């Protein structure tokens, strides 16, 4: 059985990472640029 950390890493890699550039662009209009790395 996979650990919860492994499941989270897999979810991030398959679901979020491909959209990271678009997510960063979206967040750029909502939060300070210095906070984007903390959120993503």
pLDDT attached to residue 19: 95
Range of the domain at 21: 4-39
Q: How many domains does the chain have?
A: 1
pLDDT attached to residue 1: 54
> pLDDT tens across 7-30, in order?
999 998 999 999 999 999 999 989
Contact 40, 23 (CB under 8 A): yes
Whether the CA torsion 10, 16, 18, 24 is positive or negative: it is negative
């Amino acid at each position: 059985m996979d650990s919860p950390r492994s499941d989270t890493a897999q979810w991030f890699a398959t679901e979020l990472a491909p959209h990271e550039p678009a997510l960063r662009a979206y967040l750029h209009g909502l939060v300070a640029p210095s906070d984007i790395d903390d959120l993503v």
